[in-house]
Structure 1
Amino acid sequence: MPKLATPLNDTRIKALKPKANRYAVSDGGGLVLEVMASGSKIWRYRYSLHGKQQPVVTIGEYPATSLMAARERARRYAEIVAGGVSPMADAKKDRGAEKSLNTVRDFGAYWTEQQMSDKSDEYRRTTNRALEKDVYPAIGNKPLPDVTPGDVLAICDRIKKRGSPKMALHTRNVIKRMFEYAIARQFVTINPAAAVVARFVATQESRDRVLSPEELGRVLRAVYASSIRRPLKLAIHLLVLTMVRKSELIEARWNEFNLDEGIWRIPAERMKKDREHWVYLAPQAIAMLRELHEGRTSQEYVFPTVRGTDRPIAKSTLNQAIRALDMEVQHFVLHDFRRTASTHLHEMGQSSDAIEKALAHTIKGIKGVYNRAEYADERRRILQLWAEFVDGQIDEGRKVVIGKFGSAA
Structure 2
Amino acid sequence: MPKAATPLNDTKILALKPKEKRYLIADGEGLYLEIMTSGTKIWRYRYSLNGKQQPLVTIGEYPAVGLKEARKLAVKYTEIVAKGVSPIADAQKDRGFAKSLTTVREFSEHWYQSLIADKSESYRNVTRRVLDKDIYPAIGSKELAEVNAGDILVICDKIKARGSPQAALLTRNIIKRMFEYAISRQVATINPAHQLVARFIATPQSRTRVLSPDELGLMLRKIYASDMARPSKLALHLLVITMVRKSEMIEAEWSEIDFDNGIWRIPAERMKKDKEHWIHLSRQALAMFAELKELSHSQKYVFPMRRGYEDRPISKSTLNAAVRAMDTGVQHFVIHDFRRTASTHLHEMGQSSDAIEKALAHSIKGIKGVYNRAEYADERRKILQLWADFVDAQIETQRKVVIGGFGKTAA
Question: Please, what TM-score do these two structures have when normalized by structure 1?
Answer: 0.56
1:294 aligns with 2:286: no
* 1:254 alignment partner in structure 2: 254
Note if contact 2:286-2:407 (Cα within 8 Å) is conserved in structure 1. Answer: no
Q: Could you say if the C-alpha distance between residues 274 and 123 of structure 1 is closer, same or farther in structure 2, counting changes exceeding 3 Å?
A: closer
Q: Could you say if the C-alpha distance between residues 367 and 316 of structure 1 is closer, same or farther in structure 2, counting changes exceeding 3 Å?
A: same
* 2:231 alignment partner in structure 1: 231
Q: Could you say if the C-alpha distance between residues 207 and 396 of structure 1 is closer, same or farther in structure 2, counting changes exceeding 3 Å?
A: same
* 2:316 alignment partner in structure 1: 315
Q: Please give the residue correspondences for 1:152-301 in structure 2 after superposition, counting only pairs within 5 Å.
A: 152-153=156-157, 155-156=159-160, 159=163, 166=166, 169=169, 200-204=200-204, 207-301=207-301
Q: Could you say if the C-alpha distance between residues 167 and 324 of structure 1 is closer, same or farther in structure 2, counting changes exceeding 3 Å?
A: farther
Structure 1 residue 359: deviation in Å? Answer: 0.2
For structure 1, the residue ranges without an aligned partner over 5 or more in a row are 1-38, 40-119, 136-146, 177-192
* 1:366 alignment partner in structure 2: 367
Note if contact 1:254-1:301 (Cα within 8 Å) is conserved in structure 2. Answer: yes
1:297-330 CA distance string (max 9 Å, x none): 1000000112221011111111111111113321
Structure 1 residue 200: deviation in Å? Answer: 4.2
Note if contact 1:268-1:276 (Cα within 8 Å) is conserved in structure 2. Answer: yes
Q: Please give the residue correspondences for 1:71-220 in structure 2 after superposition, counting only pairs within 5 Å.
A: 152-153=156-157, 155-156=159-160, 159=163, 166=166, 169=169, 200-204=200-204, 207-220=207-220
Distance in 1 (alpha carbons) for counterparts of 2:126 and 2:398: 25
* 1:395 alignment partner in structure 2: 396
Amino acid paired to 1:153? D
Q: Could you say if the C-alpha distance between residues 365 and 173 of structure 1 is closer, same or farther in structure 2, counting changes exceeding 3 Å?
A: closer
Amino acid paired to 1:226? S
Distance in 1 (alpha carbons) for counterparts of 2:235 and 2:394: 18
Distance in 2 (alpha carbons) for counterparts of 1:275 and 1:399: 41
* 2:57 alignment partner in structure 1: none
1:187-236 CA distance string (max 9 Å, x none): xxxxxx99977664445566111111122122212211211111111111
Distance in 2 (alpha carbons) for counterparts of 1:323 and 1:169: 19
Structure 1 residue 156: deviation in Å? Answer: 2.8
Number of aligned residue pairs: give it.
Answer: 278
Distance in 1 (alpha carbons) for counterparts of 2:342 and 2:129: 28
Q: Cα RMSD (Å) of the superposition?
A: 4.4
Distance in 1 (alpha carbons) for counterparts of 2:166 and 2:384: 31
Structure 1 residue 344: deviation in Å? Answer: 0.8
Question: Please, what TM-score do these two structures have when normalized by structure 2?
Answer: 0.56
Amino acid paired to 1:292? L
Identity, in percent, stands at: 67
User: Where does structure 1 differ by over 2 angstroms across 4 or more consecutive aligned residues?
Assistant: 120-130, 147-160, 165-176, 193-206, 406-409
Distance in 1 (alpha carbons) for counterparts of 2:245 and 2:303: 14
Note if contact 2:157-2:168 (Cα within 8 Å) is conserved in structure 1. Answer: no
Query: Secondary structure, in 3 states, of the residue corresponding to 1:269?
Result: helix
Structure 1 residue 153: deviation in Å? Answer: 2.7
Structure 1 residue 404: deviation in Å? Answer: 1.2
Distance in 2 (alpha carbons) for counterparts of 1:328 and 1:169: 24
Distance in 1 (alpha carbons) for counterparts of 2:211 and 2:154: 32
Query: Secondary structure, in 3 states, of the residue corresponding to 2:278?
Result: strand
Note if contact 1:277-1:372 (Cα within 8 Å) is conserved in structure 2. Answer: yes
Query: Secondary structure, in 3 states, of the residue corresponding to 2:279?
Result: strand
Q: Could you say if the C-alpha distance between residues 400 and 198 of structure 1 is closer, same or farther in structure 2, counting changes exceeding 3 Å?
A: farther
Note if contact 2:223-2:328 (Cα within 8 Å) is conserved in structure 1. Answer: no
Q: Select the structure of larger CA radius of gyration.
A: 1
Structure 1 residue 261: deviation in Å? Answer: 1.3
Q: Could you say if the C-alpha distance between residues 325 and 168 of structure 1 is closer, same or farther in structure 2, counting changes exceeding 3 Å?
A: farther
Amino acid paired to 2:378? D
